[in-house]
Structures are given as C-alpha cells and as structure tokens.
Amino acid sequence: MAAKSPENVYSVKTFGFAAKDSSGLFSPFNFSRRATGENDVQFKVLYCGTCYYDWAMITNKYGMTNYPFVIGHEIIGVVTEVGSKVKKFKVGDKVGVGGHVGACEKCELCINGVENNCPEAESTDGFSGKNFGGCSNIMVVNEKYAVVWPENLPLHSGVPLLCAGITTYSPLRRYGLDKPGLNIGIAGLGGLGHLAIRFAKAFGAKVTLISSSVKKKREALEKFGVDSFLLNSNPEEMQGAYGTLDGIIDTMPVAHSIVPFLALLKPLGKLIILGVPEEPFEVPAPALLMGGKLIAGSAAGSMKETQEMIDFAAKHNIVADVEVIPIDYLNTAIERIKNSDVKYRFVIDVGNTLKSPSF
C-alpha cells in the first residue's frame, strides 16, 4: 500500500509509535491530526489496548495494511478541547474510543443504528486507510464515535472492553443469548473468551467453557466461575453434552472444526463466530438442517451498543484481566501476543510512558 504523508497533512502535531513496514517493528513516529472541529473532541491519551488484530495488521497478514501504521482501537483519555456543537463532553471528562470513528451517516445501516457495518465505515487505526490509531499522545474524534466513561469503571482494565468487550457483548444481545437461565457455551479462553464468560454470567446464563487445553479447566472453574468445562478433543466429553446449549460464542482464532459445536446446540441453537482462523470452515448441510441451527458472524458493535455495554460493565463490575506495559515494551508485547503469551490483554500506559520527541 502507498505510504501516507503524515507529518504535515493537518495542523495539530502529534507523536506516537508506528510500524513502518511489514516487519511489524514499532518505533517513534511524528505525524499530525486535524484541528478540533465543531463536533469533535480532542483528548490526551492515557491508555491504549493492543491485541492479536494489531499483530495481524502490522505484519500485513490480511494484505491491506497502510504504512506507517499506528495501532490503537481501544483507547481511553481525558478531554482537552471540545468543538462548539459538542454536547456529550466537556474538558476534563474521561472518554473512550473503540474500533470505528466514522461512517457515511446516510445509508440504511447508519440510519438504523448499525453504522459499524456501513460500507464506508472508518476504522480508528487506519484499516480503512484514512486514520492513525490511538497509540499516541493525543487524538481527535467526532463525539458520536466516543463513549462517556463511567466514573466507577477502572481505566486500565476497562479499556479492552472497547474491543473485546463489545465484540462479545454485542452478539450475546443481538442473538437473544442474554436471557437468565440459558445455557451458553464459550469456545476459547483468551482475550475475547474471558470477557464473554463474564458478560454471559452477568446476564444470568449457565456457562460452559469449551477449550482445546485441559490446562484451562481449573482456571475456568475457579477463577471465572464457569458451570462446566468441555475439552473439545475428548469425544466422550463432547458427546455427553450434545444438545444441551442454547448458543455458543466461538472465539477460537485457530483452525478447528465447528461440526462438533453444532452438535452441542439444542434445536434452533445459534453458533456465533468471533475468531478468524486462516482456514475456511466446512459444514455438512445436515448439521444445520437437523434442528434448524444457525451460524452467524459478528465483529465489534454499534456506538449505541458500545455505550450500553460500557454502562452494563460498570454496573456489574466487569473488566478485563490485563498486563499494563510501558510504551518501550510494545515490540516485546506484540511478539508475546503472536505466541499467545498473555493473560489476557496488554494495555499500554501511554499517558505515563510515551515521551515527547523534538519536532
């Protein structure tokens, strides 16, 4: 992809960390952001989360990365400036920004409040080629794409909710898997999975963790309070649970068969795919036809859902398990993410560790 001309496009000088090419290595980076418009908020970045998606993007795993690439699609900061028409925020407020910062505002999807699925949706971190992410000293965003941060929700452990939180909360709500007493399966205990468990439990569900690692069993039962555990490589365990689940949230990012998961579902059960394995799924038609089961996919959520999720998390004390890191640890953290060596999310302490370069 053609490189952006970042330093003088806009008037507000900014600094952060960026990957300059597909080596995926980060280094200090000077660029610019737009001046605060009448509907914008400008804020000082305090914390920025990072996840597997960031590693995939900086190494051009999907073949569409624009360099230089500043990561950051889960961001928390404190408002330093507001536009003349801004109503949601004032200077000094805490503000959160997730994966989207714009859309066409005109199409049927936008009108119906699911602007995250708009074909012209703008990603926060430049997936759409227009923006730089939040791993920087400041950020500017239209107030519509910012969430009001509850006073009682911690900043450092709350920031991953803007990615992993909404990604798991949204499908639970949208597909009716948020009712007390339902039996919900969560496949995979990672950054997404551990929050999916917490949201499902807060909705009043009975939760079964489905994992490829028996090492996750004790933690799932004792720390996260799941009601049961299934080792998906154990045919007897899986067969014993056939037809018992109302829905499954599949967060597994590696290749696996979903046919056994469909067998776990009750008639009319729903399997929601959140992970992105490299290999395509293969599903025999009878696995869907018998019982009228559904397979769906989901990514992120709308701004309305995101604010609702943040407020719900604050009410139910839901946060992510995080490891807070300084900015100069970022390259090591990305390597650890690639190797699945994190429990369960890294959060960069931007506010205290990103030092200003000389312009």
For the segment 255-275, what is each residue's pLDDT rounded down to a tens digit?
A: 999 999 999 999 999 999 999
Q: Given this model, what pLDDT does residue 356 score?
A: 77
Q: Is residue 5's pLDDT more than 60?
A: no
Distance CA 329, CA 168 (A): 28
Q: Given this model, what pLDDT does residue 168 score?
A: 98
Domain-by-domain residue ranges, the chain?
Answer: 12-161+321-353, 165-297
Distance CA 49, CA 325 (A): 10
3-state DSSP: the chain helix, strand, coil percent, rounded to 5?
Answer: 30, 25, 45
Tokens of 104: 């066409």
Q: Write down the mean pLDDT value for the chain.
A: 94
Distance CA 345, CA 51 (A): 7
CATH number for the domain whose boundaries are 12-161+321-353: 3.90.180.10
Q: Given this model, what pLDDT does residue 22 score?
A: 93
**Which of 132, 138, 137 lies closest to 68, judged by CA?**
132
What number is the average pLDDT over the span 49-69?
Answer: 92
Tokens of 57: 């993007």
* Gyration radius of the chain's alpha carbons: 20
Q: What is the pLDDT of residues 185-200, one digit of tens each?
A: 999 999 999 999 999 9
**Which of 298, 205, 276, 211 lies closest to 244, judged by CA?**
205
Alpha helices in the chain (DSSP H): 52-58, 108-111, 164-174, 191-202, 217-222, 235-240, 259-264, 285-289, 303-316, 330-338, 350-353
What number is the average pLDDT over the span 327-338?
Answer: 96
- Contacts of residue 334, defined as CB under 8 A and 6 or more positions apart, other chains included, come to 24, 26, 50, 54, 55, 58
Q: pLDDT tier at 9 (50, 70, 90 boundaries)? A: confident
Beta bridge partners of 271: 248, 295
Please state which CATH class domain 165-297 belongs to: alpha beta
Q: Is residue 4's pLDDT more than 60?
A: no
Q: Given this model, what pLDDT does residue 3 score?
A: 47
Q: Given this model, what pLDDT does residue 359 score?
A: 43
**Which of 77, 302, 314, 57 lies closest to 167, judged by CA?**
302
3-state secondary structure of 164: helix
Q: pLDDT tier at 349 (50, 70, 90 boundaries)? A: very high
Distance CA 51, CA 282 (A): 27
Q: pTM for the complete prediction?
A: 0.94
3-state secondary structure of 324: strand
